[in-house]
Amino acid sequence: MWLQIPSPSEININYWDERLQYLPRLCKLTFPFIVPQKNDEITHISKEFVDIFFGFESKMQNPQKRKVSFYNPLNYLIQKNEAITDCWMICDVDDVHQTVSQFLITYIYDRISKIGQDGKDNPNIASIICYNFASSGNCQNSNCQMHHVSPTPLLLFQRQKLARLQYTVVRQLDVLYRHGLLCKEILNLQNWWAENLVKCHLRYHSPHTSCPEVTYMALANLPIHVRDGLINEVYKTMLFNKSKNANDFEVMLKYILVIQQLRDKTVIDEFYREMSKTKILSHPNDLTVGFEYYCGNFQAIPIGRYLSQFFSFLYNNKVISAIISSKSFINYSLKNIKQVNLISSDALGDLTSLVEFTTSLIFTVGQEYCDLCLPRAYLINYFEAFNAKPLIPVRYTYSRKNYLSAINNSIDQVQQLLDLLFCKEQAYLTIILRLIRLLILIGLNESKFVQNILNLFKHIISKYDIFSTKIKKYLKEDDFTSLEIILHNDLKEKFCDSLVIVHHRCISKSKFAFFEKNGVKRLTYNSIEEFRSSLRKIISSVTEIPEDKLALLDSLVES
Ligand SMILES: [Zn+2]
Ligand SMILES: [Zn+2]
């Protein structure tokens, strides 16, 4: 009985939290001794530690010497001793320091690597939330490895807090590693947890299992050195594999989206430089996947350049150029989906994020003053956390004709993607739903396309044998107003998302005013600051996260 290892569901969040809290404290206390930063403090700290471990009675007349009792548990670790008298040995003070230090390193290393290993079995930090369980309360798959919980913003907050702490703890070893006190293997552990943070906590999955405001609170709360470490790891992995990554869009999208979340412009600039490097072809037939011709047929440049341009243009508020770049990248991806390694559900989810991001940008530049209806998750992921400038009338806008053709092209891309995904409906369920919701958002924001979208839904339902009742509910509805209501209720089901009317003050009456009666919140603004503060009020009213906690987002956004 007492040997029973608790099953994952018994691993209590509070227990784990306490276990983790204790380690950074231990490191904070001991690191100044193990790897002292300032010379003048060394002797002082060193003395205190030796006193703690060997007692005051170990002091001798000569400050360079200490006497150590045979009964002291650390005595066997001391290599050199000069003289032995009954129960005491006389040692050099540096040897004693060395011994205590070595003991602490081993102790800390053991504790942290143990928690690093054990954590891999804790579903709160190391598993993705199961969408099937989250949406219906049961999961048919008996081998399902995912976390079976019903998510709420609070639960997601606890999960992310724990994951953030876990990563912070594992990263403590980095200090010792950089001083040459630990072997290279600890990097594997750190990389594993960096990957895990991205995969299970930072990456957006679906409105039922992800909550962007919670993600950004977690990011804003990362200690600076941990955040830098994460960027470094993400960045290094991305760049180290760059030679083989020109055709691996899964890797490229994954890392660039994390960098976007962490808002690190230097990495985006570096990525841009990397993706602008051309290579010489000895023959035009040598063009490989992930490259296109550049200035004739004897030079090639990575397609990833379009992705890097998307972010660079956005930073400079060149929204239309950004949209064009992104569309070129998406287009190439759709035509070469297998060759560029966009197969896994995670990879296609990231591509879907890019499609959502791009389409919502089209809405913003379709008119001088914005009057839009978008999910809160879009507003946070694509505007608040990155660049809210496209919402403010200091940027070029589309002509009506170009605006409509840009949207038309988005619908086209979504349709192509859906055609690829419906072959494996079960595996891609959450992504299919995201794309269907996006189509409804398009009709909602530009009524000219309502009929196209209803026709597209009819076409899909006649073409595929659809399994999911949720998808069917959307596709079978032939009244667009009802579709809007279904979307509204679907998004807010878990409180992790909801529709928001984004209304610039210069427009007297929002065209979505009718929607407010159904409980859709309206965000009125005329500056970026007002956009942010109104968004925060809305988040706080829906998720019950206190407004002052959300203010933490600012530190991330404005850094
Ligand atoms: Zn999922
Ligand atoms: Zn499951």
CA 473 to chain centre: 31
pLDDT (0 to 100) of residue 37: 73
Please give the Cα distance from 72 to 216 (Å, whole number).
49
For residue 205, how far is its CA from the centre of ligand 1 (angstroms)?
A: 6
Q: What is the mean pLDDT of residues 394-401?
A: 92
What is the model's pLDDT at position 157? 86
The pLDDT value recorded for residue 241 is: 64
Residue among 522, 559, 554, 489 at smallest CA distance from 213: 554
pLDDT tier at 36 (50, 70, 90 boundaries)? confident
Q: How far is the CA of 213 from the centre of ligand 2 (A)?
A: 25
Residue type, 23: L
pLDDT at 8: 46
| Cα distance between the two ends of the chain | 53
Q: Tell me how far the alpha carbon of residue 35 lies from the centroid of ligand 1, in angstroms.
A: 43
- The pLDDT, as a whole number, for residue 234 is 77
Instruction: Determine the distance separating the centroid of ligand 1 and the alpha carbon of 165, expressed in angstroms.
Output: 22
Q: Is the pLDDT of residue 9 over 50?
A: no
Question: Predicted confidence band at 551 (pLDDT cuts at 50, 70, 90)?
Answer: low
Q: pLDDT tens for residues 344-390?
A: 999 999 999 999 999 999 999 999 999 999 999 999 999 987 788 89
- The ligand placed nearest to the CA atom of residue 128 is 1
Q: How far is the CA of 140 from the centre of ligand 2 (A)?
A: 7
Distance 131 CA to ligand 2 centre (A): 7
> Ligand 1 centre from 137 Cα, in Å?
14
What ligand has the least distance to the C-alpha of 207?
Answer: 1
CB 91 within 8 A of CB 82: yes
The ligand minimizing its distance to the Cα of 146 is 2
Q: Any alpha helices (H) in 8-152, and if so which ranges?
A: 13-34, 39-54, 93-118, 123-126, 131-136
The pLDDT, as a whole number, for residue 416 is 96
- Domain extents for the chain? 8-133+146-227, 369-386+496-559
C-alpha 93/C-alpha 72 separation (Å) is 16
Which pLDDT score is estimated for 5? 43
The Å distance, Cα 420 to ligand 1 centre, comes to: 19
Q: How far is the CA of 208 from the centre of ligand 1 (A)?
A: 9
Structure confidence at residue 244 (pLDDT):
61
Q: What is the mean pLDDT of residues 36-65?
A: 73
Q: Are 183 and 192 in contact (CB under 8 A)?
A: no
Tell me which ligand sits closest to the C-alpha of residue 138. 2
The residue ranking higher by pLDDT, 119 or 77, is: 119
pLDDT at 508 over 50: yes
> Does the pLDDT of residue 310 top 60, yes or no?
yes
Cα(431) to centroid(ligand 1), Å: 10
- Distance (Å) from CA 425 to ligand 1 centroid: 14
pLDDT at 54 over 90: no
